[in-house]
């Protein structure tokens, strides 16, 4: 199967065209035209990207296997967990958020629930104190702030 | 001699207690990073940049820290090659060939010690090479005008895939993507907004440190999950060290040859540490394999590639420091560090920031010695850490990476971007788009565009000015060769590399 490269090449071709078109729409800079404007370099780039994506569509490499759907769903859940961590770090606080995300990740990587929980809690506490007290980089306390 | 006195000043910087402390910390961290399979040197340095940045370290201290990490990673890569038969990073691949058989014969400790000595020789000789060559190259590079710089940047991208590069169009595509990301934001020379879609957060462009950590570290985590590689691998037990001076003397010639070859491979564009260790190994095999012991645990087969890859690692710093054009992934990440510290690398670096450059070079000597001392008696500790399964380690590493990114500007938005780049990196790797040219594009984009503009403004819009001087023609020729040669030579070299690997496996 050589679908991956074809699809990706197609996407990149669209990007190249969109990027190049957008570059031609730049407003004329203050002081009028020069031989090289803000659009010159981007247009060159869109040509290079266009050529290489056409090559990719015409002569694709063999596919690297995608993970089965179940794994892709799992990876998406992991990505969501990291985004949730990013969101939670301020309102909830670094320590609980980090403990949760690290436990979750190491559980998903195959550690037992108890061990991953221990990893999460100890690592988040150690890193919190390392950063806050030794390296003096303030991390948000969140809910633990009294 | 001028260089000598500058180097002495450098040692004055490098031997302050603070610098020594950072060199030691960097050496330890680097060895760890190199030893853990999957956490390559580029990855490790990338995670540490935001930390060094938000700790507010001085440029000299951060660079000493990170170059020691870089050097340490090259030392560390050999540990997993020898004990697990899995290279901790790509250049350490050739060390597997004789290192693992030695370990199987119950000589793991000797293999580790010999490779540490060879690594030391490799780095030491290459650092001397750096001291001699860098100022010469920097002086020469002062002749470069904007047109030459533009050609030089093109050369850097063209040769980045290396002789062994598989698909040159994918390298080109990756470079274009990186340069495109770099073009987002307010154009420096005209003030025109480009691709910002009127979003305030995009006015300053995309922060490449966030992109680097996302592309390398987060995508690595996703790959680990996918491969169910959480449990780690079985390693060979380590024995008590019995090393006589005779054993060391026996590997010295191999180490010296490896070091010199590695250095040359490191300096040349497009070669890099992997090729350095490959050439050193094959040459050593040709020179000294008279009884057919190579591949079955010959100590010289451990020493040559180790000296080679450490030599290449220091050699790769020559183009990075003098021209501002890195030749490998890790040096690209080190360049990111320099740029984020507001130091522009290139020939002027040696004049404007002489203290810093020579301090760092001297620190490389110091760090190298520290690494040798660390690696012989303390190798057991590193081995024990290596046996922590990735399922505990990777989540914690990811956490440290996120904390680093978060503490740069205390914004959750940066973390969203980091995760986004992680997903992108995962997709890129699935379709075999190399990540290093993307990073390099993001780093060099602004400079490359600036030199194009200067060249064309000077020539009043005449595009032939880009090819006007002999120097720029030469650079363009090398660039085109770098792009075209791998298509012809690449398959042959790759076949040879896998053949020599397969041949040793059969034995």
Tokens of B8: 């002495």
Query: Is there a contact between B45 and B333 (Cβ–Cβ < 8 Å)?
Result: yes
What's chain B's average pLDDT? 82
Query: Is there a contact between B34 and B82 (Cβ–Cβ < 8 Å)?
Result: no
Gap between the Cα atoms of B251 and B301, Å rounded:
9
Whether A35 maps to a domain, the answer reads yes
Helix segments in B324-469, DSSP class H: 329-340, 349-352, 354-375, 379-386, 390-409, 412-430, 436-458
Average pLDDT on B313-334 reads: 83
- What's the confidence (pLDDT) of residue A80? 94
User: Are A75 and A139 in a shared domain?
Assistant: yes
B106-132 pLDDT tens trace: 888 888 888 888 889 999 999 999 888
Which residue range(s) make up the domain with B457? Answer: 2-140+148-227+243-506
A23-32 pLDDT tens trace: 888 877 666 6
ipTM: 0.90
Most distant pair of Cα atoms in chain A: their distance = 67
Gap between the Cα atoms of B319 and B451, Å rounded:
18
Flag whether pLDDT at A132 surpasses 90: no
Q: What's the number of CA atoms in the CB half-sphere (13 Å) around residue B375?
A: 33
> Tokens 């180490």 — which residue?
B255
Whether A101 maps to a domain, the answer reads yes
3-state secondary structure of A90: coil
Whether B213 maps to a domain, the answer reads yes
Backbone angles phi, psi at B17, to 5 degrees: -55, -40
Average pLDDT on B129-158 reads: 87
pTM above 0.95, yes or no: no
Whether A63 maps to a domain, the answer reads no
Chain A to chain B, count of Cβ pairs less than 8 Å apart? 182
User: Are A52 and A104 in a shared domain?
Assistant: no
Please state the separation of Cα A5 from the chain's center in Å.
21
**Looking at beta carbons, which residues of chain B come within 8 Å of A56?**
169-170, 173
Query: Nearest Cβ partner of A35 from B175, B432, B461?
Result: B461
Total domains in chain A come to 2
- What's the confidence (pLDDT) of residue B357? 86
Q: With a CB-CB cutoff of 8 Å, which residues 43-62 of chain A face chain B? A: 45-46, 48-49, 51-53, 55-56, 61
Whether B154 maps to a domain, the answer reads yes
**CA dist B335 → B18, B405, B450, B495, B501 (Å):** 23, 18, 18, 32, 33
Tell me whether residues B399 and A98 touch, CB distance under 8 A: yes
Whether A48 maps to a domain, the answer reads yes
Average pLDDT on B439-461 reads: 86
Interface test with A, best of B407, B410, B431, B463 (most A CBs within 10 A): B431
- What's the confidence (pLDDT) of residue B507? 44
Query: Is there a contact between B152 and B323 (Cβ–Cβ < 8 Å)?
Result: yes
Query: Is there a contact between B97 and B78 (Cβ–Cβ < 8 Å)?
Result: no
Interface test with A, best of B190, B429, B442 (most A CBs within 10 A): B190
Query: Is there a contact between B67 and B23 (Cβ–Cβ < 8 Å)?
Result: no
In the structure, what pLDDT confidence band is assigned to residue A101 with cuts at 50, 70 and 90?
very high
In the structure, what pLDDT confidence band is assigned to residue B270 with cuts at 50, 70 and 90?
low
User: Are A86 and A138 in a shared domain?
Assistant: yes
Q: What's the number of CA atoms in the CB half-sphere (13 Å) around residue A15?
A: 20
> Cα dihedral angle (B406, B222, B233, B89), rounded to 10 degrees?
-70
Query: Nearest Cβ partner of B172 from A52, A78, A90?
Result: A52
- What's the confidence (pLDDT) of residue B180? 92
Average pLDDT on B302-318 reads: 86
- If one compares B417 and B275, the residue with the highest pLDDT of the two is B417
Average pLDDT on B267-287 reads: 76
**CA dist A37 → A26, B108, B206, B219, B385 (Å):** 9, 61, 21, 36, 54
What single DSSP character describes residue B184? -
- What's the confidence (pLDDT) of residue B234? 64
Total domains in chain B come to 1
B159-209 pLDDT tens trace: 776 655 667 888 889 999 999 999 888 887 777 888 878 777 778 888 888
Please state the separation of Cα B4 from the chain's center in Å.
27
Whether B238 maps to a domain, the answer reads no
Gap between the Cα atoms of B326 and B228, Å rounded:
34
Flag whether pLDDT at A103 surpasses 90: yes
Which residue range(s) make up the domain with A13? Answer: 3-58
In the structure, what pLDDT confidence band is assigned to residue B503 with cuts at 50, 70 and 90?
low
Instruction: Please choose, from the candidates B339, B325, B336, the residue with its C-alpha nearest in 3D space to the C-alpha of residue B160.
Output: B325
What element of type H or E holds B44?
helix B41-54
Whether B361 maps to a domain, the answer reads yes
- What's the confidence (pLDDT) of residue B1? 53
Average pLDDT on B392-405 reads: 86
Flag whether pLDDT at B90 surpasses 70: no
Is the CB of residue A89 less than 8 Å away from at least one CB of chain B? yes
Gap between the Cα atoms of B153 and B104, Å rounded:
46
Gap between the Cα atoms of A117 and A107, Å rounded:
8
Tell me whether residues B431 and A106 touch, CB distance under 8 A: no
- If one compares A145 and B317, the residue with the highest pLDDT of the two is B317
Gap between the Cα atoms of B437 and B14, Å rounded:
32
> Tokens 């997993």 — which residue?
B80
Helix segments in B103-204, DSSP class H: 108-141, 146-160, 168-183
Flag whether pLDDT at A145 surpasses 80: no
Flag whether pLDDT at A50 surpasses 90: yes
Gap between the Cα atoms of B322 and B133, Å rounded:
10
Query: Is there a contact between A41 and B180 (Cβ–Cβ < 8 Å)?
Result: no
Whether A32 maps to a domain, the answer reads yes
Instruction: Please choose, from the candidates B338, B343, B273, the residue with its C-alpha nearest in 3D space to the C-alpha of residue B305.
Output: B273
- What's the confidence (pLDDT) of residue B504? 54
- What's the confidence (pLDDT) of residue B506? 47
Instruction: Please choose, from the candidates B129, B211, B149, the residue with its C-alpha nearest in 3D space to the C-alpha of residue B450.
Output: B149
Compare all CA atoms of chain A with the CA of B181 and give the residue at the minimum distance.
A42
Q: Quote the percentage of chain B above a pLDDT of 70.
A: 91
User: Are A52 and A89 in a shared domain?
Assistant: no
Whether B432 maps to a domain, the answer reads yes
- What's the confidence (pLDDT) of residue B146? 87
Q: Which of B117-126, B216-225, B304-313, B486-495 has the highest mean pLDDT?
A: B117-126
3-state secondary structure of B185: strand
Residue by residue, DSSP assigns B419-449 as HHHHHHHHHHHHTT--SHHHHHHHHHHHHHH
Among the ranges given (B84-93, B113-122, B336-345, B473-482), the one the predictor scored with the smallest mean pLDDT: B84-93
Q: Write b or e for each residue in B144-165: b if 16 or more Cβ atoms lie within 10 A of its Cβ, otherwise e.
A: bbbbbbbbbbbbbbbbbbbbbb
Whether B386 maps to a domain, the answer reads yes
- What's the confidence (pLDDT) of residue B424? 93
User: Are A48 and A74 in a shared domain?
Assistant: no
- If one compares A48 and A2, the residue with the highest pLDDT of the two is A48
- What's the confidence (pLDDT) of residue B164? 56
User: Are A8 and A46 in a shared domain?
Assistant: yes
Q: With a CB-CB cutoff of 8 Å, which residues 97-136 of chain A face chain B? A: 98, 101-103, 105-106, 108-111, 115-116, 119-120, 123-124, 127, 131, 135
Query: Nearest Cβ partner of B224 from A109, A111, A135?
Result: A109
Instruction: Please choose, from the candidates B435, B496, B103, the residue with its C-alpha nearest in 3D space to the C-alpha of residue B278.
Output: B496
Whether A64 maps to a domain, the answer reads no
Average pLDDT on B306-310 reads: 86
- If one compares A100 and B231, the residue with the highest pLDDT of the two is A100
Residue B113: how many CB atoms within 10 A of its CB? Answer: 22
- What's the confidence (pLDDT) of residue B426? 92
> Tokens 């199987």 — which residue?
B104
């Amino acid at each position: 199967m050589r679908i991956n490269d074809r699809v990706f090449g197609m996407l990149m071709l669209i990007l190249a065209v969109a990027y190049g078109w957008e570059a031609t729409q730049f407003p004329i800079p203050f002081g009028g035209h020069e031989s090289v404007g803000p659009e010159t370099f981007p247009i060159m780039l869109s040509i290079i990207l266009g050529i290489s994506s056409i090559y990719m569509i015409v002569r694709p490499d063999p596919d690297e296997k995608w993970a089965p759907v179940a794994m892709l769903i799992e990876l998406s859940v992991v990505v969501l967990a990291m985004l949730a961590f990013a969101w939670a770090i301020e309102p909830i606080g670094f320590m609980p958020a980090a403990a949760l995300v690290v436990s979750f990740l190491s559980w998903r990587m195959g550690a037992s629930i108890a061990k991953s929980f221990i990893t999460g809690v100890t690592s988040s506490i150690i890193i919190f104190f390392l950063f806050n007290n030794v390296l003096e980089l303030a991390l948000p306390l969140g809910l633990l702030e009294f | 001699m001028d260089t000598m006195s500058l180097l002495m000043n450098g040692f004055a910087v490098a031997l302050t207690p603070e610098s020594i402390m950072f060199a030691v910390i960097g050496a330890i961290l680097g060895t760890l990073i190199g030893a853990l399979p999957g956490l390559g040197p580029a990855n490790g340095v990338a995670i540490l940049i935001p930390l060094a940045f938000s700790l507010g370290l001085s440029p000299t201290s951060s660079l000493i820290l990170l170059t020691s990490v870089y050097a340490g990673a090259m030392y560390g890569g050999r540990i997993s090659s020898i004990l697990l038969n899995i290279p901790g990073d790509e250049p350490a691949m050739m060390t597997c060939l004789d290192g693992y058989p030695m370990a199987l014969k119950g000589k793991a400790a000797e293999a580790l010690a010999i490779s540490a000595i060879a690594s030391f020789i490799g780095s030491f000789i290459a650092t001397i090479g750096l001291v001699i060559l860098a100022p010469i190259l920097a002086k020469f590079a002062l002749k470069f005008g904007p047109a030459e710089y533009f050609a030089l940047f093109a050369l850097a991208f063209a040769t980045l895939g290396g002789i062994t590069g598989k698909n040159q169009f994918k390298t080109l595509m990756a470079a274009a993507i990186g340069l495109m990301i770099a073009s987002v934001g307010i154009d420096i020379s005209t003030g025109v907004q480009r691709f910002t879609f009127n979003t305030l957060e995009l006015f300053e462009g995309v922060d490449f440190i966030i992109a680097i950590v996302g592309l390398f570290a987060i995508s690595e985590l996703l790959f680990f999950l996918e491969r169910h590689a959480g449990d780690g691998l079985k390693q060979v037990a380590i024995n008590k060290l019995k090393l006589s001076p005779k054993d060391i003397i026996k590997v010295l010639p191999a180490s010296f040859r490896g070091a010199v070859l590695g250095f040359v491979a490191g300096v040349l564009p497009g070669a890099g540490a992997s090729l350095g260790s490959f050439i050193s190994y094959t040459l050593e095999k040709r020179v000294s394999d008279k009884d057919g012991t190579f591949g079955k645990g010959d100590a010289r087969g451990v020493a040559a590639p180790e000296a080679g890859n450490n030599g290449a690692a220091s050699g790769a710093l020559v183009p990075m420091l003098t021209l501002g054009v890195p030749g490998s992934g890790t040096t690209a990440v080190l360049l990111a560090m320099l740029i984020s510290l507001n130091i522009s690398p290139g020939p002027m670096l040696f004049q404007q920031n002489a203290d810093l450059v020579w301090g760092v070079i001297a620190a490389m000597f110091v760090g190298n010695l520290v690494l040798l001392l660390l690696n012989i008696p303390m190798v057991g500790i590193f081995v024990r850490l290596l046996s922590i399964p990735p399922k505990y380690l990777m989540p914690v590493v990811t956490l440290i990476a996120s904390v680093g990114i978060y503490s740069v500007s205390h914004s959750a938005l940066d973390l969203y971007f980091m995760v986004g780049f992680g997903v992108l990196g995962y997709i890129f790797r699935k379709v075999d788009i190399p990540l290093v040219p993307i990073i390099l594009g993001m780093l060099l984009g602004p400079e490359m565009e600036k030199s194009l503009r200067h060249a064309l403004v000077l020539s009043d819009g005449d595009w032939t000015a880009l090819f006007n001087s002999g120097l720029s023609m030469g650079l363009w020729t090398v660039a085109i060769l770098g792009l075209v040669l791998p298509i012809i030579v690449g398959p042959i070299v790759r076949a040879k590399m896998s053949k020599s690997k397969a041949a040793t496996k059969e034995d």
